[in-house]
Amino acid sequence: MRTDTELFKQIELKNKQALEALYDRYEKSLYLFLTRMLNDENRVQLTLRQIFQDVWTSPNQYPSIHGYLIKAVKQVRSQREPIH
C-alpha cells in the first residue's frame, strides 16, 4: 500500500490511479464526517467532489487530505452563515 505522500506525488504527475487510490482510502470517512456536519446529501456530494477536484488540480497545496477537508469545511461554513 502506498503512503499518502507517495499518492500525492503521483497525483502531481496526473496519475489518475493515484487519485482513485486516495479516493478509495478516504471517501467513506469523509462522507460520514460531512453527512454529520451538513445533514444534506446534495451538499455532501458537492463537497466531496470539490475536495477531490482540488486534490487533482492542486495536489501540492496541502501535505495531506486533511488540509483539503479543512478548506472545504471552512467554505461550507461560510456559505451556511446568514447574510446580514
Mean pLDDT for the chain overall = 89
Mind listing the pLDDT tens digit of every residue in the chain (84 residues)? 799 999 999 999 999 999 999 999 999 999 999 999 888 999 999 999 999 999 999 999 988 899 998 888 888 777 764 443
- Which fold, 4-80? Rna Polymerase Sigma Factor; Chain: A (1.10.1740)
Alpha helices in 1-84 (DSSP H): 4-12, 16-38, 41-57, 65-80
Which triple of cell numbers denotes residue 15?
496519475
What tens digit of pLDDT does each residue of 21-43 get? 999 999 999 999 999 988 899 99
Q: Please give the model's pTM, rounded to 2 decimal places.
A: 0.84
Tell me, what's the pLDDT at 80?
A: 60
